[in-house]
Structure 1
Amino acid sequence: MSRPSAGTYIIYNRVLSPKGEKLAFTFTGQNKTQTVTPLSNDETQKWIIKDYNSNTQTISPESNANLQAAWGDQGVTVLPAGAYVWVIKSTDSGYTIQDGKQTVYWGVADAVDNANVTITAGTGNEKQRWIFHQA
């Protein structure tokens, strides 16, 4: 299974909103639960992927590369850089984003505007699949 090359990406969920919109992973601020919002290509939807080691990668908002996507109480949060790493793998239906031990997945409970990006056990559901579009 391959992973995305280091670079800047817009990451959106595999499942469209009820209005047919692509829902992009959106930076909502430091120490806040991150959400998905309709794809707009603005800087809050651009993320820097860097290789941490041969298996894991970091995910940082383009607007502040000193922050990283991390595990929060309500799902994915963004914290000061601290080696928060993720396993990103390509599948037939999009990428999965898992914790370093590959026990849980990023996803959305509902594919709607402002839904929290969750971290939960794998369901095989397409709401736990992501598309990486190079920005």
Structure 2
Amino acid sequence: MRRAAALWSSLSGLLLACLCLGPCLAAAAAQPADEDGYRLWLRYAALPAAQRARVPAGGIASLAPDSPTVRAARAELQRGLDGLLGRPAGAADGNAVTDGGIVLARAADLPADAAVQPRLQLLGTEGYL
């Protein structure tokens, strides 16, 4: 009787492990070969055509001092917009701020008379406006 109980205990543990790990292994096997964690996390599926048509063609301007962090942020923003819009978002000519454009900047990098200055008071801890 003890042997049967020990055997059942071992088999039930194995069954439980299979039930828990099976779906995880199946999901991992179903992942496309060219998908890695970075691309999976930052997937930029194209917006529907009607929404893409409403997005202005402004470029990305950077008023922040050049640094590896700013270059990485700009590249990620470019990659995301290209994917969402289904077309290159483009860069602003000489980092000129244009209507419909996106500006990467610190508050200190913005002109003091910029219309956006009053809105800077509304920024959250992340700094997005």
State the TM bucket, normalised to the shorter chain. under 0.3
Q: Give TM-score scaled by structure 2 length.
A: 0.25
Instruction: Return the index of the structure with the highest Cα Rg.
Output: 2
Q: Give TM-score scaled by structure 1 length.
A: 0.25
Q: Which has the higher contact order (CA 8 A, sep 6+)?
A: 1
Q: Which has the higher strand share?
A: 1
Q: Which has the higher helix share?
A: 2
